[in-house]
Amino acid sequence: MANISPAEKNAERRKRVFVGTLPPDFLRITAASQQQQEAADQQAALALQQQMVGVPYAHTAAGRLSITVAQAKLVKNYGMTRMDPYVRLRVGHCVYETHTDPNGGKNPRWNKVVQCLLPQGVTSIYLEIYDECSFTMDELIAWAHIPIPQPVLSGETHEDWFPLSGKQGEGMEGMINLVLSYSLAPAQASYALYPSVGPVVMVPTPMYGMRPSYAPVSVYTAPTTQPAQPTQAPQLSEQELKQIEEMFPNMDKEVIKSVFEANRGNKDGTVNSLLQMCE
């Protein structure tokens, strides 16, 4: 081996190199039919939620809650090199998120104001802090269950640091700084109130964890006396189906049809949804 010349070494290396046209499935992740169906169901649920946002409990809302997520002081950096934290809030049945603080580490700052309706009977906020990851599921760093202070419900603005729980133990993961205020909902505008930040539906995507999809904000109007006309599901023509099948040869026809109906017959939206499923 010691007597082999550089030219012979290069010739030997060339023999090992793949020469020719790459196979069509090169570097492609093929999702199983069950994964495709689950992704289609998730897209359908997202489309339904987008239609219903603003409607579910506007008439049962007690008032409007303002939450300012200012900053946090965490006790440990769980990232390999850095942490990019963001906050997820749940108020009633709605979930809201802040933006990510790139390289926020143990002292992230958001200064994000979330305006949301406070349903009757809801007296607590559930909060989670995640580290945003690029190629794996976002990691849960800390969490907290925060009862809304009574002075806030009486109309006072309240600022405080609340303890966070996590791997270090109950209340031992650090502190988060919130500013809370509350106002009663006007009776005459009970149908017009809506969250200024759209609720978030978490849509799992194959291989890459969770991605937040923000539902558009809409205003609910009182129904008219005219009976609602039944709506028919949009139909995908054979030509359109064939075109999409050529774009996604590994995708099941029923999955394509389900995603098409979830996007209300929008062909471009269907293609975008299918591309996300294949990522």
Domain closes at, from 141, 167, 198: 198
Task: Check whether residue 122 and residue 162 sit in a common domain.
Answer: yes
Measured CA to CA, the distance from residue 162 to residue 125 in angstroms comes to 11
Task: Check whether residue 187 and residue 267 sit in a common domain.
Answer: no
Structure tokens at 172: 């031992």
Measured CA to CA, the distance from residue 63 to residue 122 in angstroms comes to 11
Domain closes at, from 176, 198, 220: 198
Q: Residue 109: helix, strand or coil by DSSP?
A: strand
- Is residue 134 domain-resident? yes
Q: Digits of tens for pLDDT over the chain (279 positions)?
A: 557 788 887 777 777 765 666 666 666 665 566 666 776 777 666 666 555 554 444 445 678 899 999 999 999 888 777 899 999 999 988 899 999 999 899 999 999 999 988 888 889 999 999 999 887 888 999 999 999 999 998 889 999 999 999 989 999 999 999 999 998 865 444 444 444 444 444 444 333 334 444 444 444 444 444 554 555 556 667 777 778 778 877 777 777 777 777 777 777 777 777 777 765
Task: Check whether residue 156 and residue 257 sit in a common domain.
Answer: no
Q: Which amino acid is present at 141? A: I
Task: Check whether residue 84 and residue 48 sit in a common domain.
Answer: no
Q: Residue 269: helix, strand or coil by DSSP?
A: helix
Structure tokens at 259: 């995603």
Task: Check whether residue 48 and residue 174 sit in a common domain.
Answer: no
Task: Check whether residue 48 and residue 101 sit in a common domain.
Answer: no
Total structural domains within the chain: 2
CATH of the domain at 126: 2.60.40.150
Task: Check whether residue 86 and residue 137 sit in a common domain.
Answer: yes
- Is residue 267 domain-resident? yes
CATH of the domain at 257: 1.10.8
Q: Residue 277: helix, strand or coil by DSSP?
A: helix
The candidate with the shortest Cα–Cα distance to 193, out of 157, 156, 218, is 218
Task: Check whether residue 108 and residue 127 sit in a common domain.
Answer: yes
**Around Cβ 209, how many Cβ atoms within 10 Å?**
16
- Is residue 237 domain-resident? no
- Is residue 74 domain-resident? yes
Task: Check whether residue 194 and residue 66 sit in a common domain.
Answer: yes
The candidate with the shortest Cα–Cα distance to 131, out of 210, 193, 58, is 210
Whether residue 67 contacts residue 87, with contact meaning beta carbons closer than 8 Å, is answered with: no
Question: Domain range for residue 273?
Answer: 31-53+242-279
The gap from C-alpha 50 to its chain's centroid, in whole angstroms, comes to: 13
- Helix 267-278 and helix 238-247, axial crossing angle in degrees, nearest 10: 30
Task: Check whether residue 108 and residue 45 sit in a common domain.
Answer: no
Whether residue 218 contacts residue 107, with contact meaning beta carbons closer than 8 Å, is answered with: no
Measured CA to CA, the distance from residue 191 to residue 122 in angstroms comes to 19
Domain closes at, from 198, 232, 260: 198
- Is residue 223 domain-resident? no
Task: Check whether residue 84 and residue 189 sit in a common domain.
Answer: yes
Task: Check whether residue 45 and residue 104 sit in a common domain.
Answer: no
